[in-house]
């Protein structure tokens, strides 16, 4: 049962599963996992910077991204010795909110970006002009917030930085249209701009993750390796599509077209936990989203993720998150 339909997950339910559908199944599962993140993106500045310049962004809970429209920059990521050269058309995503600096040349003294932007209350994309009057660089800077960051199966696997290089001064073709509309909206004053920008940033994040996932080794281990395994990805897709179903290991093995024991062993080796343990964890991710985004009683949430008894659901949710569903809902509502 799909519980969070939105622009990232509008696809019909599958009537059958074939091992040749590996990429489709992997993207289905990835889309579900992205939905469960509670992703919310925004632009905070469009910058026109003239050499010499250096902007410092502190570490924090939000992920960041930067798009170089014109000119170039050096990215210095905290904890990395070598800076990364960025050119026109480049996009860089920093999923873990690490502190970093952007400059026209390595070694510049940094200026905290907070000194150059209006207070946090504005919530709008600001035009930032800064620097010494030399060669210009223009870029778009934004951030991602995740409602469900803690213990998420995807975020812990992402590298500190994902760099998508431009091609001859332009973004790659698959990304270019999104970035061009995003750049246009960053300059717009029309009603609804913030909503359009938020949706475009959602799409941007998914596009980047698709490419990053495709670049991972086909024989990789872990959760990403499981997505590329035709049998295990079929079982994962079944759990994600119907988390409320009372799955057994035998039924999941049947979805994978495999016998029970080798399926369970392979699943555990790749994913890092047995099938039913993963199912429980996924149900709690879905439940957390339902508690946050839908006006449902806790009993209704329990039913939607496969629990006939509200006390049993309460116990499982508290075991997974450390607090009861009611306390979780109150805590997030107050945040």
pLDDT of residue 3: 37
Q: Which CATH class is domain 219-334?
A: mainly alpha
Pick the CATH number of 39-215 from 2.60.120.260, 2.140.10.10, 2.60.120.280, 3.30.70.60: 2.60.120.280
What contacts 147, CB < 8 A, 6 or more positions away?
Answer: 37, 38, 40, 289, 292, 332
CA–CA gap between residue 303 and residue 313 (Å, rounded): 9
What is the pLDDT, as a whole number, of residue 22? 56
> Three-state SS for 186?
helix
Domain with CATH 1.10.10.60 in the chain: 219-334
Give start-end residues of each CATH 2.60.120.280 domain in the chain: 39-215
Preceding amide of 52 cis, omega within 30: yes
Q: What is the mean pLDDT of the chain?
A: 84
The residue-averaged pLDDT of 313-333 equals 91
Q: Which of 138, 136, 22, 43 is nearest to 89 (CA)?
A: 138
Examine the pLDDT at 270 and tell me if it is beyond 60. yes
For residue 297, pLDDT over 50 is answered with yes
10 Å CB burial of residue 123 (0-12, 13-18, 19+) is exposed
Q: For residue 68, list its beta bridge partners.
A: 139
Closest CA to 238 of 282, 206, 272: 282
Q: What is the pTM of this model?
A: 0.74
């Amino acid at each position: 049962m799909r519980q969070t339909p939105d622009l990232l997950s509008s696809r019909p339910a599958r009537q059958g599963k074939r091992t040749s559908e590996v990429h489709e199944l992997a993207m289905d599962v990835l889309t579900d996992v992205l939905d469960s993140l509670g992703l919310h993106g925004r632009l905070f500045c469009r910058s026109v910077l003239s050499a010499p310049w250096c902007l410092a962004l502190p570490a924090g809970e939000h992920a960041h991204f930067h798009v170089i429209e014109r000119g170039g920059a050096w990215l210095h990521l905290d904890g990395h010795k070598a800076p990364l050269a960025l050119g026109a058309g480049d996009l860089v995503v920093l999923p873990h909110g690490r502190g970093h600096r952007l400059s026209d040349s390595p070694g510049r003294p940094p200026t905290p970006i907070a000194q150059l932007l209006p207070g946090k209350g504005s919530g709008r994309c600001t035009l930032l002009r800064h620097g010494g009057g030399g060669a210009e660089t223009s870029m778009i800077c934004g951030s991602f917030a995740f409602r469900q960051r803690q213990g998420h199966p995807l975020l812990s696997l992402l590298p500190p930085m994902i760099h998508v290089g431009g091609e001859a001064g332009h973004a790659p073709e698959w990304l270019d249209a999104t970035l061009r509309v995003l750049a246009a909206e960053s300059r717009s004053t029309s009603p609804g701009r913030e909503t359009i920008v938020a949706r475009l940033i959602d799409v941007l994040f998914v596009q980047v993750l698709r490419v990053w996932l495709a670049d991972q080794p086909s024989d990789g281990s872990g959760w990403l390796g499981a997505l590329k395994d035709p049998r295990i990805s079929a079982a994962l897709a079944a759990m994600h599509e119907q988390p409320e179903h009372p799955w057994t290991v035998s039924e999941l093995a049947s979805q994978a077209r495999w016998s029970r024991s080798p399926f369970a062993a392979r699943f555990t080796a790749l994913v890092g936990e047995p099938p039913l343990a993963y199912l429980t964890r996924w149900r709690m991710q879905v439940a957390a989203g339902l508690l946050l985004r839908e006006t449902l009683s806790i009993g209704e949430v329990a039913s939607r993720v496969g629990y006939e008894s509200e006390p049993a659901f309460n116990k499982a949710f508290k075991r997974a998150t450390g607090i009861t569903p009611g306390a979780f809902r109150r805590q997030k509502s107050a945040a």
